[in-house]
Amino acid sequence: MLIAEDDPMFRRVLQSWLQRWGYQVTAVNNGVEAWDVLQLPEGPQLAILDWMMPGVDGVELCRRIRGRDQRPYQYVLLLTAKDNKEDVVTGLEAGADDYLTKPFDVDELRARVRAGRRILELQDALLHAHDALRFEASHDPLTGLWNRGAVLDSLKREVQRQQRTQQPLGLMMADIDHFKKINDTLGHLVGDAVLREVAHRLGAGVRSYDWVGRYGGEEFLVLVPGCNASDLVISAERLRSCVADAPVIADAASVPVTLSVGIISAEQLGPEPWSYEDILRLADAALYKAKAEGRNRVAVGSPSLAAAHRAG
């Protein structure tokens, strides 16, 4: 909590009360210092501001607080000796959430601070619920990876960026080999554990700004911005090894798991305009090639390969 009050005696009394009630308090004596504190990344969520202060008064501070895009919300209790209706309206319209007229009763102050704290606690609960809903809307519930819609949206954006900048862009389409057999022989719970572990290994094996998503079933997309064709092969082989080099332990079973990976780089597509559907189609054809050649391998796609795949 922040106290901004230029009367030193009243400031100390306020601080003493609030600390006695269990609040962690930062106290300043003018509006300029208060504004600096309120802008800190971990700044106070509840502020008690005196209306009349040197530098920046409480009403102007309220306007500044409400004028910036902030999260979480900062609750403001304005202290004022002004008690006419016009002044109260001015303070509330400037952005104050509540006000107290000096001199005030200590029990009233405590009650109003508690009301502010309840509002902030409700806000925290709503923000957590909002974040959870946003996560659920964009992530696969089983693996925690980006879901199909989210990873395809990212692919569309990266393709548009690549068309503008001509920077490298790579895409991998990976499929767990013989996954149906794992489900049929060991059960779907083990199959789910395999999916989660493969997703974990893929996520741990890429850069922080790469995108890994569950495309559907046992298929995954890995979007690799800024990666040229030769580096894309190296990255795909590394991910394939991350999965194949150690079995997945699930329900007391040791399950060998391998990936087939089809890859395509934007530089292989030439200068003509192309879409995200084009690069998906080429990655899918390369994945088909990797499976046809024996699985547990990386295959590089090309426009001619995709044409042959469609003809077949």
For the domain made up of 148-311, give the CATH fold: Alpha-Beta Plaits (3.30.70)
Helix axes 58-67, 85-94, angle to 10 degrees: 30
Cα distance between residue 9 and residue 6, in whole Å = 9
| The predicted structure's pLDDT at residue 225 | 96
Cα torsion 168, 173, 177, 181 to 10°: value is 160
| The predicted structure's pLDDT at residue 238 | 96
| The predicted structure's pLDDT at residue 308 | 56
Collect the ranges in the chain with pLDDT lower than 70.
70, 305-312
Outline which parts of the chain fall under CATH 3.30.70.270.
148-311
Q: CA Rg, the chain, in Å?
A: 30
Of the candidates 5, 158, 197, 218, the residue annotated as catalytic is 218
For 140-190, how does the pLDDT look when each residue is reduced to its tens digit (9 = 90+)?
999 999 999 999 999 999 999 998 888 999 999 999 999 999 999 999 999
Outline which parts of the chain fall under CATH 3.40.50.2300.
2-135
Strand order of the β-sheet with 26-28 is: 26-28, 2-4, 46-50, 75-80, 98-101
| Largest separation between any pair of C-alpha atoms in the chain | 87
Which residues are registered as beta bridge partners of 27?
A: 3
| The predicted structure's pLDDT at residue 4 | 93
Cα distance between residue 42 and residue 48, in whole Å = 17
> In terms of C-beta density within 10 A (0-12 exposed, 13-18 middle, 19 or more buried), how is residue 9 classed?
exposed
Place of tokens 């606690």: 121
**What secondary structure letter does DSSP report for 103?**
S
Place of tokens 């990797």: 290
| The predicted structure's pLDDT at residue 70 | 67
> Which pair of structure tokens corresponds to residue 207?
């850069």
Q: Is 197 a catalytic site residue?
A: no
For the domain made up of 2-135, give the CATH fold: Rossmann fold (3.40.50)
The predicted model scores a pTM of: 0.68
| The predicted structure's pLDDT at residue 102 | 83
